[in-house]
């Protein structure tokens, strides 16, 4: 099981690097989809994407590309259907100069689609605190580290992409869910 976690984590990292490098090489920023994930095995794991309706509570980023879902025992960060659609839309690669480069970018994105159709789950039992502070949702581990602090989907840090009212509501519900596990 541990080897498969590492394999999937490595595959996801390679996929992300390939997409970001392809985009960066072309100097693209407008209309591009940026994804960066850092999820240590000890606190998070890769899961199949979850439909928002299945969550106990969910919030979606202001641009609609990412979501945080509160499940019974986990918090899941994932791309939304909108985010996946934007990543795979022709418009996402139309600004890349050169027909060959566009074809390669579309092939890479198409091949990597299954890897992005996953989420990152964090166990609620490891959550020490949840709050909205300094313009971001903060999910804090017992050691003081922030969960999903290095995760980016869209144009910036994931935890800064939610409306303040949504982030505050999520923090409140996450603390309540955590308290039920004790």
Rg (the chain; Cα; Å)? 17
Q: Taking a C-beta distance cutoff of 8 angstroms, is the pair 16, 79 a contact?
A: no
Q: What angle do CA 151, 157, 159 make, to 5 degrees?
A: 85
Whether pTM > 0.85 for this model: the answer is: no
pLDDT in tens, 132-177: 999 999 999 988 999 998 888 877 899 999 999 999 999 999 999 9
pLDDT value at residue 135: 95
Q: 28-32, 43-47, 53-57: which has the minimum mean pLDDT?
A: 28-32
pLDDT of 28-41, one tens digit each?
444 445 555 555 54
Contact (CB, 8 A) for 65 and 55: no
Query: 């909108």: which residue's tokens?
Result: 82
Percentage of residues in the chain with pLDDT exceeding 70?
Answer: 66
């Amino acid at each position: 099981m541990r080897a498969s976690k590492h394999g999937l984590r490595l595959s996801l990292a390679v996929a992300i690097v390939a997409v970001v490098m392809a985009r960066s090489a072309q100097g693209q920023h407008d209309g591009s989809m940026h994804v960066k994930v850092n999820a240590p095995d000890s606190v998070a794991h890769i899961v199949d994407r979850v439909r928002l309706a299945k969550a106990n509570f969910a919030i979606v980023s202001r641009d609609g590309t990412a979501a945080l879902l509160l499940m019974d025992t986990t918090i899941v960060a994932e791309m939304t259907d909108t985010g996946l659609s934007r990543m795979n839309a022709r418009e996402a690669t139309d600004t890349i100069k050169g027909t060959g480069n566009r074809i390669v970018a579309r092939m890479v994105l198409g091949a990597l689609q299954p890897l992005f159709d996953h989420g990152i789950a964090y166990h609620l039992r490891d959550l020490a605190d949840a709050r909205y502070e300094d313009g971001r949702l903060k999910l804090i581990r017992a050691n003081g580290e922030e969960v999903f602090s290095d995760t980016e989907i869209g144009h910036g840090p994931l935890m800064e992409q939610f409306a303040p009212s949504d982030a505050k509501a999520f923090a409140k519900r996450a603390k309540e869910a955590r308290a039920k596990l004790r």
